[in-house]
């Protein structure tokens, strides 16, 4: 072989010693990790969109408020996980709520030091808050 072309096969590259046969497993592992990462991102986007569509003003949410609805409406997410599906979706909901806080859509309030007691609510529109005059 004088030159590598588009017609050169992996077998040819292994035979001339440019790559090791074990590199095929490494590359397949990378493809699988990328696929899992893409799937996780797609699931996060679906859960995030679902939460945005179902938020109501004046309601304090916690992660459990969305769990049953997401399991019912988005049953394909994590369906291959069996018992781990609930935990996976709970994690996605938590990440979604935190990202909505980060982008300013939601605020978080908590009367304890335990983050498990966090509640999330829509950020109030301060332009709609009435101004109060002081008594003179």
100 is a domain residue: yes
Write down the pTM of the prediction: 0.74
pLDDT at 24 (0 to 100): 95
Query: What are the pLDDT digits (tens) for 81-114?
Result: 777 888 899 999 999 999 999 998 888 887 677 6
Please report whether residue 4 resides in a domain.
no
In a domain, 5, yes or no: no
pLDDT, greater one: 33 or 108? 33
Q: Is residue 15 part of a domain?
A: yes
- For residue 31, is it within any domain? yes
As for how many domains the chain has, the answer is 1
Range of the domain at 23: 10-121
Please report the pLDDT score of residue 75 as a whole number. 84
Q: 3-state secondary structure string, the chain?
A: CCCCCCCCCHHHHHHCCCCCCHHHHHHHHHHHHHHHHHHHHHHHHHHHHHHHHHCCCCCCECCHHHHHHHHHHCCCCCHHHCCHHHHHHHHHHHHHHHHHHHCCCEEEECCCCCHHHCEEEECCCHHHCCCCCCCC
Residue 17 lies in a domain: yes
Percent of the chain predicted with pLDDT > 70: 88
**pLDDT mean across residues, the chain:** 86
In a domain, 62, yes or no: yes
């Amino acid at each position: 072989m004088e030159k590598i072309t588009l017609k050169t096969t992996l077998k040819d590259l292994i035979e001339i010693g440019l790559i090791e046969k074990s590199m095929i497993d490494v590359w397949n592992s990378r493809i699988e990790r990328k696929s899992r990462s893409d799937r996780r991102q797609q699931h996060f986007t679906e859960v995030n969109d679902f939460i945005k569509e179902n938020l109501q003003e004046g309601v304090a949410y916690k992660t459990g408020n969305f769990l049953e609805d997401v399991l019912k409406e988005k049953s394909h997410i994590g369906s291959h996980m069996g018992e781990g599906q609930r935990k996976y979706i709970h994690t996605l909901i938590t990440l979604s709520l935190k990202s909505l806080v980060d982008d300013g859509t939601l605020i978080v309030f908590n009367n304890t030091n335990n983050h498990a007691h966090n509640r999330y609510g829509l950020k109030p529109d301060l332009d709609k808050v009435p101004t109060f005059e002081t008594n003179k």
